Amino acid sequence: MNDEAGAIFIVHRFFRSLHNLSESPPRFVKFMRNKRDVIIIGAGVSGLACAYRLKRLGIDALLLESSLRAGGVIRSEVVDGFLIERGPNSSQGTEELLALVEELGITDELIEGDPKAPAYVYFDGRLHPVPAGPASFFKSRLFSTTGKLRLLKEFFVPPRTEETEESVASFARRRIGPEAADRLVAPFVSGIYAGDAEQLSVQAAFPRLANLERDYGGLFRGMMAKAKEARRAKKAARDVMDKATPTRRRSVSFRQGMAFLTETLRSRIGEELITGCADCRLQNIESEIPNSQSGASITEGDNRFAVSFDRSGHREQIRSKHLVIAAPAHVASGLVAPLSDELSRLLEEIRYAELAIIHLAYDVSAIRTPLDGFGFLVAPGEELSILGCVWNSSLFEGRAPEGKSLLTVFIGGAREPRSSARLKDAELISTVHTDLQRALGIIAPPQTIAITRYERAIPQYNLGHAARVCSIENLLQRMPGLYLAGNYLHGVSTGDCIKEADRVAREIARAIL
């Protein structure tokens, strides 16, 4: 936790201690109000972004978090002079993310990886740069001549007519051939989802690719059409505003790490965030009040949900007409069980990949391979246990002391029947170091900085996920006032979470205002 985060935590603990006094000053009475317009459960990036947007829209929203810190898996720390990420190392510079950064006034803290820095794939015992254009594609040794010709044939492959979901691997083999599917698509699936391309649904995990085939008949046709549309839109926009078409940055973070974003959101939400809320439970209530004219009962609309939880040794309950659950799928499943057995079951069906994240440091001189890019991913079937490696100190400045290289390695994932992520620390470090020696030519032992393990790291958008999400959304339409937000629905990236949280907040605002 950085200095700013620590200061916020200390101040928040001070507020909590005042709240627990029997004679609290009037300025803290707002914590004791048992009715709110909106209650949000879960202070990961989705919950934080939703609460921030609601507050900006002037809506009375309260954010509850079970742990003593906000941010979820986004967690930056400085260890022995190294800035490490225990969750996502960076994010795509999506329009939604960049807009939020600008709104928060923290653009100066944003840093961008070199957009020209190559990413690599480890295949056939060596690193291959991912082709970035026609010239590098034809020179690449990642694909054979047959594989290159098969990929170019994509323009003539007819679109699929079946309406059922298709795996990413099947989609890639059908459209661009087996070599590209195994050596390019599968590694990047493991890099994004820690997933298995044979199991992941292309409609759920990569809907833009599926839509290119559906709308344009193929990937090349679709990309050409999209590029043409973008050029037309950009040309028209120049007459109105130079920034009408925002530039999408490849990979971004913050000088103090990814947690700078969540800590900034936390500070802007302020006293409307309460941490340490244990044993959270929901109840769907329809409080009835007598109708003086008919003698019958009518529903009191502002008391649809009751949320109870333990905090500082006391059981508290707050009621609200609108409830957002921004917790992981398995936690959300338990929370909604009293409201809907079917919704609870659908959420419980969502699988997560197990993952271990290992941060190792080496002297720059001990690494024979130049670390001139983002990092590398491992193709299936290679004699390496790791999924991939991010070259943090090469990607962003300020990640390692002078003369040191910081590497973040991922191991585990859905491709392994018995996850390597469960190895004991010493065995885990030995396995990772051996793989790095083979891939990068390292000639010295590592300095172990940190190990982080997640039993449930990344949700898997496996076959059937698109249909499952459709069923979840149909159920929510019949449960007015209940909303779900998180990375298990419409995208796992930070930008996807921000986009979905903002959508939910604005939907609530339309219902209230």
Domains of the chain, residue spans: 3-74+258-350+462-512, 76-116+351-459, 131-238
d(CA 159, CA 290) in angstroms, rounded, equals 61
pLDDT score at 212 = 94
Closest CA to 451 of 72, 86, 82: 86
pLDDT at position 347: 98
pLDDT tens digit string along 427-444? Answer: 999 999 999 999 999 999
Confidence of residue 242 (pLDDT cuts 50, 70, 90): very low
Q: What is the pLDDT of residue 234?
A: 56
Nearest partner of 230 among 92, 91, 95, 90, judged by Cα: 95
Residue 345 has a pLDDT of 98
Residue 172 has pLDDT above 80, yes or no: yes
CA distance 388 to 442: 16
Q: Does the pLDDT at position 455 exceed 80?
A: yes
Best CATH choice for the domain 131-238 from the list 3.20.20.70, 3.30.70.3280, 1.10.3110.10, 1.10.3720.10 = 1.10.3110.10
Q: What's residue 297's pLDDT?
A: 36
Average pLDDT of the residues in 209-237: 81
Query: What percentage of the chain reaches a pLDDT higher than 70?
Result: 86
Please tell me whether residue 420 adopts helix, strand or coil conformation. Answer: helix
What CA–CA distance (Å, rounded) separates 113 from 365? 23
Q: What is the structure's pLDDT at 286?
A: 62
pLDDT digits (tens, 9 = 90+) for 91-124: 999 999 999 999 999 999 999 998 888 999 999 9
Q: What is the pLDDT of residue 226?
A: 82
- Cβ–Cβ < 8 Å for 366, 403: no
Residue ranges with strand state E in 364-473: 375-378, 386-391, 404-412, 447-459
More confident residue, 105 or 287: 105
d(CA 456, CA 412): 11
pLDDT in tens, 19-70: 333 333 333 334 447 899 999 999 999 999 999 999 999 999 999 999 999 9
Q: Is a pLDDT exceeding 80 seen at residue 314?
A: yes
At CA 425, angle to CA 422 and CA 427, rounded to 5? 85
- What angle, 0 to 180 degrees and rounded to 10, lies between the N-to-C axes of helices 341-348 and 465-477? 150
Tell me the residue type at 38: V
Position 236 confidence tier, pLDDT thresholds 50, 70, 90: low
pLDDT, greater one: 92 or 260: 260
% of the chain residues with pLDDT over 90? 79
- Which carries the bigger pLDDT value, residue 343 or residue 11? 343
- Residue 121's DSSP bridge partners are 128, 377
Q: Which of 126, 184, 85, 191 is nearest to 368 (CA)?
A: 126
- Checking if the pLDDT of 9 tops 50, the result is no
pLDDT of 150 > 90? The answer is yes
Q: ∠ CA(63), CA(64), CA(70), 5° rounding?
A: 85
Quick: pLDDT tens for 385-437.
Answer: 999 999 999 999 999 999 999 999 999 999 886 778 899 999 999 999 999 99
Instruction: Give the residue among 244, 242, 265, 257 at the shortest CA–CA distance from 110.
Output: 257
Q: Rounded mean pLDDT of the chain?
A: 88
Predicted local distance difference test score (pLDDT) of residue 31: 44
- Cα end-to-end span (Å), the chain: 38
- Alpha carbon of 231 to those of 98, 115, 225, 450: distances in Å? 21, 20, 10, 46
pLDDT digits 0-9 by tens, 288-302: 444 444 343 334 445
Superfamily per CATH, domain 76-116+351-459: Protoporphyrinogen oxidase, mitochondrial; domain 2 (3.90.660.20)
Closest C-alpha to 197, from 211, 212, 180, 213: 180
3-state secondary structure of 282: strand
For the domain 3-74+258-350+462-512, what is the CATH superfamily, name and number?
Answer: FAD/NAD(P)-binding domain (3.50.50.60)
Q: Are 190 and 413 contacting, i.e. CB atoms less than 8 angstroms apart?
A: yes
359-381: average pLDDT:
96
| pLDDT score recorded for residue 26 | 36
What is the per-residue pLDDT for 116? 85
